[in-house]
Amino acid sequence: MSDLFNSRQCLQSIVDIPQLFPCIDDADVAGLVKPVDLQEVKDNLFGIGGNKAPGVDGYLACFYQNQWSLCARDIFDLVSTAFSTCIIHEKFNTTLITLVPKVPNPSSMVQFRPISLCCTLYKVISKILVARLRVILPNLISPNQVSFVLGRQIVDNIIIAQELRHKFKISKGKKGFMAWKTDLSKVYDRLNWHFIESVLVDLKLPRVFVQLVMSCISSVQYKICVNGELTDAFRPQSGIRQGDPLSPYLFVLCIEKLSHIIFDEVDKKRWKCVKSSQSGPCVSHLFFADDLVLFAEASTKQAQIMRDCLEKFCSVSGQAVNFDKSTIFCSPNTGNVLAQDLSRICFSPLTANLAGRATLIQSVTSYIPVYTMQTAKLPFFKDGWWDIERLREVLSEEMVQQIINFPAGFGGGRADAKIWKCNPNGVFTVKTAYELLVQVFEWFKAFGGTKNQEIKEQQVMSWEPPISNWLKLNVDGSRKGMSGAMTQHKQ
């Protein structure tokens, strides 16, 4: 377990990444380093849930809250000393790690989520730092990131992603588009301390503030709770804690450096962005905390640029892409052969046994919302697609082109299966069957029991004049949108 928190060698320096952070004004700088007062300490202490799980000392926040009149001076002295000396004493920063399984019967450490239980007094210090930092965060973080930024909501990026998805579906020209949804593995545990400090220095934050933040990170000791018993304490060499109020904000600042890498490529006209409309803004990426969606034109050159940007960021920050949870989406005018090449570029193994995935929005696969291609160890079915070279040995080029237009199975050589078209995952359910029957019933009710569109259009309905002093509006909004004509009848 302790190996997870060992320092990882960073292959590049942060100086290789463009510095695009804006300058912080003097008023914000003064707010970061102002002395703490008793009211600030009290507000942040009482902002902690009283029954939150305690750290190794066993004291809940409700204990300090209920006994505030007795321990207020001692707590204030401890916090003010930490801010004046920029040192966090290790006895207040010993953290208990409890392992929460992600799956039933986990068999490896990656199947656990390590949750850090920090001491309440440390959380007070951390929350004060967060309260001061989050005020200036909207000015430092690009609009592409919406998580943990004051005044932004995750739904903003969801709407943009849906608009771009619609753009993909209606694309019919020669130029295809791609979206690479990537997931970073163990983002908090892998974050390199030197990288964090370099980012804070790049921000031109006050030195005392940087020192205090780094003391919060580097003075920690871990004890792991296994079957109700604690292991010996050990010191990590990298990573930040899930459960520390400061961690999400540090991660958002660090992941912003990936935005800087992408923006630099866009400014150099190398990264071809995607527009949801002709006059809409260019979108190169959207961030949902540690979930990233990258957008570009569908070409092998663009795929390589996207991969290079990710590798550059990972090499300097200590991060790693979780390829098992990553997916490529392509517009329907992207051919299967090109989609295969894109997957091979984006998912060519950085380590052994990594599988690529791709999604094609095609009419022939419209019943499968996520069409994956995964590596399979079969001689004729190596990568989830047709073995084109093998086909060309025995068939004409015309027949080969016809064959490769059809998807080769369901994502890696699985057996044929019956698909229920009315459910996105292909599984029959009573709910989807009921919804289908309701749709059929409404259709019959609307069109007089006929499914013949031509007959429906030829039906003549008698028109009756409205009553006196009334206007009559004829509306047809049942099938092809709202259209109407308003007439005034004269008796």
pLDDT score for 471: 65
342 has a pLDDT exceeding 60? yes
- Name the nearest CA neighbour of 97 among 31, 211, 204, 188: 188
**Average pLDDT of 355-362?**
41
For residue 250, what pLDDT is reported?
Answer: 96
Q: Select the more confidently predicted residue: 443 or 309.
A: 309
Higher pLDDT, 466 or 220: 220
pLDDT of 460 above 60: no
Statement: residue 177 has pLDDT above 90: yes
- Secondary structure class of 473 (helix, strand, coil): strand
* Cα dihedral value 66, 70, 76, 78, nearest 10: -100
Task: Give the lowest-confidence range in 3-17, 128-142, 339-353.
Answer: 3-17
Mean of the pLDDT values across residues 224-242? 87
Does residue 369 surpass a pLDDT of 50? no
Kindly report, residue by residue over 388-425, the tens digit of the pLDDT: 777 777 777 777 777 777 665 544 445 666 778 788 77
Q: Determine the pLDDT at residue 436.
A: 81
CA distances from 257 to 190, 404, 445 (A): 16, 40, 57
Confidence of residue 385 (pLDDT cuts 50, 70, 90): low
The model's pLDDT over 85-109, given as tens digits with 9 standing for 90+, comes to 999 988 889 999 988 888 888 887 7
Is the pLDDT reported for residue 359 higher than 50? Answer: no
Report the percentage of the chain scoring pLDDT > 70. Answer: 76
Query: Taking 90 as the threshold, does the pLDDT of residue 348 lie above it?
Result: no
pLDDT surpasses 80 at 381: no
- Residue 372: CB atoms within 10 A of its CB come to 17
Quick one: pLDDT at residue 377? 33
**Are the beta carbons of 364 and 406 closer than 8 angstroms?**
yes
Band of pLDDT at residue 355, cut at 50, 70 and 90: very low
pLDDT of residue 13: 62
- pLDDT tens for 43-85 read 999 999 988 888 888 899 999 999 999 999 999 999 999 999 9
Query: pLDDT higher for 109 or 222?
Result: 222
pLDDT interval class at 384 (50, 70, 90)? low
User: How high is the mean pLDDT of the chain?
Assistant: 80
Of residues 397 and 176, which shows the higher confidence score? 176
Statement: residue 454 has pLDDT above 70: no
* Per-residue pLDDT at 7: 55
Q: What is the pLDDT of residue 6?
A: 59
Q: Out of 208-217, 324-333, 416-425, 472-481, which region has the weakest mean confidence (pLDDT)?
A: 472-481
Q: How confident is the model at residue 293 (pLDDT cuts 50, 70, 90)?
A: very high
- 272: Cβ contacts below 8 Å, ≥ 6 apart: 296, 297, 299, 302
pLDDT of residue 1: 52
The pairing of strands 359-360 and 327-330 is: parallel
The predicted structure's pLDDT at residue 379: 36
pLDDT confidence of residue 173 = 82
Whether the CB-CB separation of 318 and 197 falls below 8 Å is answered with no
Q: Residue 65 in contact with residue 124, Cβ under 8 Å?
A: no
pLDDT of the residue at 61: 93
Instruction: Return the bridge partners of 295, or none.
Output: 179
Tokens 């009573």 identify what position?
430
CB 131 within 8 A of CB 32: no
> Of all helices (H) and strands (E), which one includes residue 137?
helix 120-140
Rounded (to 5) percent helix, strand, coil in the chain: 45, 15, 45
Q: Could you tell me the pLDDT band of residue 263, with boundaries at 50, 70 and 90?
A: very high
Q: How confident is the model at residue 307 (pLDDT cuts 50, 70, 90)?
A: very high
| CA 412 and chain centroid, separation | 26
